[in-house]
Amino acid sequence: MGWDPTLWALAGWLLLALLVLTIIGELLEQVLPIGRGNRLFKNINDRIKAWWIMAILLVGALALGKGGVLVLFLFISFAALREFLSLTNTRLADSWALASAFFFVLPVQFLAVAMDWPGILSMFIPVYAFMFMPMLTALRGEPHSFLIRVAETQWSLMVSVFCVSHLPALMNLTIEGFEGRAALLILFFITVVQGSDTIQYIWGAQFGRRKVAPQLSPSKTVEGLVAGTVGAAVLAGLIFWITPFTWWQAALLGAAIFLMGFFGSLVMAAIKRDRGIREWGPLMMAQGGVTDRLDTAIFSAPIFYYLVQFFWGA
């Protein structure tokens, strides 16, 4: 990692591509008559703005090496956990469990990434934290909606900490012939997630007829789902050369990443609907909170990690 020349060439291309996209996007929205007040173009331009932030943060973190990437995702994870727990039914009796989620579970999970302890990475939250946190809550002796409160806290950790931590953990994978370049997997993953979600959105908005789950999300359609799957496979196949995969392996992984992301974000939409909110939080302009930007990556990150580990891991 660090000063890998491929990484730098890629970072340069990435920023150039964003610049081109920004210019085209602004031209379409501001200059051409069809673009004025067009919600589709507005949404795309908002996405591009968020990509700038992501690209700058990610490239900056990669430049600092593993430590930089870890700190970046630690902050993201913290912000996501805060957004998630803010919406739960937790009460005074949960305060020990909540404090331990923030000040113990979260740091330990990222310590596992830092120290490259794969066993702890995959077990610490679903085994240890899931058993000890309800104990802490039970000790406070408040039975009212106990199971709901415990489940909410566990889910918060699963989504915001466990899933998110698997993104920086990609750097720890040792793949034959790909030593020291695993950081490229993060770039591959995020490019596929963001690109395919946008394809899905545009296609769905233009040609979408059949909604996948009309009560949960008006913008998720069967047509978008198909276009996104194909788009993810093509996009991933096109950039296979930055990964240890062959083109068809990359395409299959791309499709898997998209499908997990698509249905994962449906899950997140269901949670938002239930809580009566449109967005998770206030962090990024016009695009809601951290969790809103992450929702497609959240469910696919661990799946991508474990697929690569299983088939390619040394």
Partner 1 sequence: MKKIAAEIVSIALQLLIRALTAVRGIWVGGEPEDKPRIYYANHTSNGDFVLIWTSLPSEIRRKTRPVAAADYWFKSKTRRFAVEEVFNAVLIDRNAENRKEGEDPVTLMTQALQQGQSLIIFPEGKRNQTEEKLLEFRTGLYHFLHNNPGVEAIPTWIENLNRVLPKGTLLPIPLICTVTFGAPVTLGKRESKRKFLKRAHDELLKLAEMQDRGRV
Q: Give me the residues that bind partner 1 (CB under 8 A), please.
A: 78-79, 81-83, 85-86, 90-92, 95-96, 98-99, 102-103, 275-278, 281-283
Count of other CB atoms within 10 angstroms of residue 172: 19
Minimum CB separation of residue 275 from partner 1 in Å reads 7
Nearer to partner 1, 87 or 298 (CB): 87
Contact of 156 with 85, CB cutoff 8 Å: yes
Nearer to partner 1, 34 or 92 (CB): 92
Nearer to partner 1, 76 or 199 (CB): 76
Minimum CB separation of residue 95 from partner 1 in Å reads 4
Nearer to partner 1, 25 or 281 (CB): 281
Q: What is the C-alpha separation between 135 and 149, in angstroms, rounded?
A: 12
What CA dihedral angle connects 265, 266, 269 and 271, to 10 degrees? -100
Nearer to partner 1, 52 or 96 (CB): 96
Of 241, 174, 170, 202, whose CA–CA distance to 39 is shortest? Answer: 202
Minimum CB separation of residue 175 from partner 1 in Å reads 36
Contact of 133 with 97, CB cutoff 8 Å: yes
Minimum CB separation of residue 114 from partner 1 in Å reads 21
Nearer to partner 1, 69 or 136 (CB): 136
- Give residues with Cβ within 8 angstroms of 171, minimum separation 6: 1, 66, 69, 182, 183, 185, 186
Minimum CB separation of residue 263 from partner 1 in Å reads 24
Minimum CB separation of residue 232 from partner 1 in Å reads 32
Dihedral class, residue 88 (left if φ above 0, else alpha if ψ from -120 to 50, else beta): beta
Hey, what are 109's tokens? Answer: 């999970």
